[in-house]
Chains A and B, each alone.
Chain A
């Protein structure tokens, strides 16, 4: 038995040493890859933009033929977000949104976060193809993807709030980001939604949010707090 234990200790030592050597080797190669990727991302952004702007739809499949979980979807999303305002205009002028959404929709997306990004991008692009894609993601197995799809559907005003809330999984409905979903609607008949504030199936926080929205105009409001941020510091006089 003692010898067996000695062997166990020796094996543990060897495994530790092996893991550490493997780590150093992988670090060596990943450093090179990392540096190359950093430069590539900078170039890629320009490449994608110039290819899309110059060739329009024809370049879409080409620029989007990449490992789907790689950096390009994030880059494209950045281009379409508020950060890339000018690029966004140029892209919008060069490519048809329908084709862009189609291209993005066909990507095989493995990671949850990438599917969330796909929803956000589809929401930015809009149109029937985007709505179709978002409806598909509304039933995703990951609740964060469903919620992202829900927020974008609300932004596109593609589904009534009552129906949308009903479709979302419980974890999504519990999230404080549901307030973002309610805010995202460009216009909605809040009176019709107010019935949900008494719906016992919904989490209390969501009912509170709906209640606030139902009784006021759907303009963005500050979040609920217990008074001013430092309300405990009261004036002495």
Chain B
């Protein structure tokens, strides 16, 4: 059939041009693939070296003895929008922090469900006469509440303005030197603040922001805001995301932090100095990728001010989050992440490969360009054109097999590598069976999931072109409960 098709539509001249195009596509796909492989290999080596050299994780008492006396006051800021099913668990997790001086500000960003009422009921909130003042812009505050039994807890109820807007209201209200910015649906570990603020104690002059590993809570047993038993989720789509998160956090983020080129701190858990947040004008309102944008703004500001600074990453998992369990919700999330990445890339385009911004311009934006901006386009172009060229006879079977085999082999190698890193140092899943399942998942994700993921990300290009700012709604299960809720913030960008 192919031969007859060729005979009908391909004149010798068009066939030559098809061969040329096929060669160009092959070269682009190969070069892009080789560069990406180089980046992943670099990440794997650097992350492995760091994990191998890092000191053992301190136990609670030793950690407290060493860092609590010099821990700076910190405010946990959690913007929430329609987080009814998970909000009380999340706030319990925040209240159970073992940290000398901390406050919690939950910013209810105009929820249309019962989030505020649940907070009022669970924590006996009462209206307060306090008002929020500060330099950052945000929507109108409707009221401030204080808990009658948990003195650390404040709830700010405001008109809906988006996650960045809610963050800004929280940053204005907090006056501690450090702000811990988390998602409303994040569950933080009891020692999270102490562990994550240790780098600020080690290098208080230069350290401006710290991120940490975020783990997936689906499948684990959660009681009163605490992960009691780590379990493997049943759904394959969630397991794929576990492998992705391991690769993103323990490989990519850790490696970039080691070379002072962190492009992103997850919106699910970030500790940033408040003075730096104010210097950069807080979070940019109306953006989809506000967590990426704020880190890029910090890089840009510090470089332009010629200030020495560090943004680092703590490999210990300090935060848990729920991820989408359906393909529909996941596709929406991935499209949004892609939209956010493109948005930030274009907003800060003057830094792209600009040596004036040092490693940030060259390394951070270089890898963003290759992996986040061009990567999905090239991969999808490869998925479409290479089989077509093969069907048309302009690409031989050997070439097709080579490209396919290399893509799958490199993908599998990276996933297994990050799994080994996680296992060697953090042992994320206690059962051997879970480890085996993850290994199988790491292989399987190359056969379908990865390709679908890139297609979902293409929707992000469309959203970006249309300047779509909608967060969408994602259906998911509440922590440790069977209740179902809707939430709009899934700010994790793995």
Q: Is the beta-carbon distance between B177 and A225 smaller than 8 angstroms?
A: yes
Partner of A226, one of B71, B130, B176, B420: B176
Q: Name the residue of chain A whose CB is nearest to the CB of B430.
A: A31
Contact B66 A177 (CB under 8 A): yes
B177 and A233 contact, CB distance less than 8 A? no
- Tell me the bound Cα distance from A223 to B71 in angstroms: 8
Q: Does B398 contact A (CB under 8 A)?
A: yes
B405 contacts A by Cβ under 8 Å: yes
Q: CB-CB < 8 A to B112: which residues of A?
A: none
> A9 and B205: CB pair below 8 A?
no
A183 and B70 CA atoms in complex are apart in Å by 11
State which of B175, B398, B409 has its C-beta within 8 Å of the C-beta of A228: B175
Partner of B412, one of A12, A205, A229, A231: A12
B154 contacts A230, C-beta separation under 8 Å: yes
A232 touching B175 by the CB < 8 A rule?
A: yes
Bound: A222/B177 CA distance, A = 14
The reply to whether A230 and B201 form a contact with Cβ atoms under 8 Å apart is no
Structural contact, A10 and B204, CB atoms closer than 8 A: no
Is there a chain B Cβ closer than 8 Å to A68's Cβ?
Answer: no
Q: Does B133 contact A (CB under 8 A)?
A: yes
Is B416 an interface position by the 8 A CB rule? Answer: yes
B249 contacts A by Cβ under 8 Å: no
Cβ–Cβ contact A113 & B56, under 8 A: yes
Contact B176 A175 (CB under 8 A): no
B13 interface hit (Cβ, 8 Å)? no
- Tell me the nearest residue of chain B to A5, going by C-beta: B402
With A23-B419, A233-B144, A234-B131 in contact, is A10–B105 under 8 Å at CB? Answer: no
Q: How far does the alpha carbon of A103 sit from the alpha carbon of B359 in the complex, in Å?
A: 48
Name the residue in A8, A12, A179, A234 with the highest tally of chain B Cβ atoms < 10 Å from its Cβ. A12
How far, in angstroms, from A10 to B406 measured CA to CA in the complex? 8
C-alpha gap A2/B397 in the complex (Å)? 11
- In the complex, which residues of chain B have a beta carbon less than 8 angstroms from the beta carbon of A233? 128, 130-132, 144, 154, 173
Which of A14-22, A50-58, A153-161 is near enough to bind chain B? A14-22
Task: State whether the Cβ of B72 lies closer than 8 Å to any Cβ in chain A.
Answer: yes
Whether A28 sits at the interface, judged by CB under 8 Å, is: yes
Neighbouring A residues of B357 by C-beta, 8 Å: none
Contacts A31-B432, A113-B55, A229-B103 given: A205-B174 contact, CB under 8 Å? no
Q: Which residues of A contact B134 (CB under 8 A)?
A: 232
**Set A23, A112, A203, A220: member contacting B205, Cβ < 8 A:** A203
Q: A33 contacts the other chain (Cβ, under 8 Å)?
A: no
B213 CB → nearest A CB, Å? 19
Residues on the B chain within 8 Å of A28, using CB = 432
**Given A16-B416, A23-B419, A232-B132, A174–B204 Cβ distance below 8 Å?**
yes
Contact A81 B61 (CB under 8 A): yes
Interface: B448 (CB within 8 A): no
C-alpha gap A6/B404 in the complex (Å)? 10
Contacts of A225 in B (CB 8 A): 72-73, 101, 175-177
Task: Check A23 against B409 for contact (C-beta < 8 Å).
Answer: no
Interface residues of B in 129-152 (CB under 8 A from A): 129-134, 144
Q: Is B479 an interface residue (CB 8 A)?
A: no
Q: Is the CB of B406 within 8 A of A5?
A: yes
Inter-subunit contact A8/B177 (CB<8 Å): no
Contact call A232/B420, Cβ cutoff below 8 A: no
CB-CB < 8 A to A231: which residues of B?
175
Shortest distance between the CB of A55 and any CB in chain B (Å): 28
Residues of chain A within 8 A of B413, CB atoms compared = 12-13, 15-16
Chain B residues with CB under 8 Å of A81's CB are 61, 65
Any A CB within 8 A of the CB of B489: no
Partner of B401, one of A6, A78, A112, A232: A6
Is A204 an interface position by the 8 A CB rule?
A: yes
A contact residues around B75 at 8 Å (CB)? 229-230
Indicate the member of A8, A20, A24, A203 with the most B CB atoms within 10 Å.
A20
Cross-interface CB contact of B420 among A5, A23, A236, cutoff 8 Å = A23
Asked whether, in the complex, the Cβ of A16 is within 8 Å of the Cβ of B56, the reply is no
Q: Is A237 an interface residue (CB 8 A)?
A: yes
How far is B398's CA from A176's CA once the two chains are assembled, in angstroms? 61
- Please give me the residue from chain B that is nearest to A220 by CB atom: B69
Report if B329 contacts A (CB, 8 A): no
User: How far, in Å, is B106 (CB) from chain A's closest CB?
Assistant: 12
Roughly how many angstroms separate A225 CA and B154 CA in the complex, as a whole number?
A: 19
B436 within 8 A of A: yes
What 1/0 flags go to B357-373 for Cβ under 8 Å of A? Answer: 00000000000000000
A111 interface residue (CB < 8 Å to B) = yes
Type the 1/0 row for A105-118, where 1 means its CB is closer than 8 Å to any CB of B: 00000011100100
User: Does A180 belong to the interface (CB within 8 Å)?
Assistant: yes
- CB neighbors of A among B420-456 (8 A): 420, 423, 432, 435-436, 439, 442-443
**B177–A226 contact, CB under 8 A?**
yes
Which residues in B have their C-beta under 8 angstroms from that of A183? Answer: 69
In the complex, besides A16-B409, A27-B423, A230-B175, 7 extra interface pairs with C-beta distance below 8 angstroms are A5-B406, A13-B405, A20-B439, A24-B436, A144-B202, A177-B67, A180-B69
Selected A-B contacts with CB under 8 Å, 18 pairs: A10-B405, A12-B409, A19-B417, A23-B439, A144-B202, A174-B203, A174-B204, A177-B202, A203-B205, A220-B69, A225-B101, A226-B274, A230-B75, A230-B103, A230-B174, A231-B175, A232-B175, A234-B131
Closest 6 pairs (CB-CB, A-B): A231-B175, A113-B55, A9-B405, A12-B409, A9-B409, A233-B130
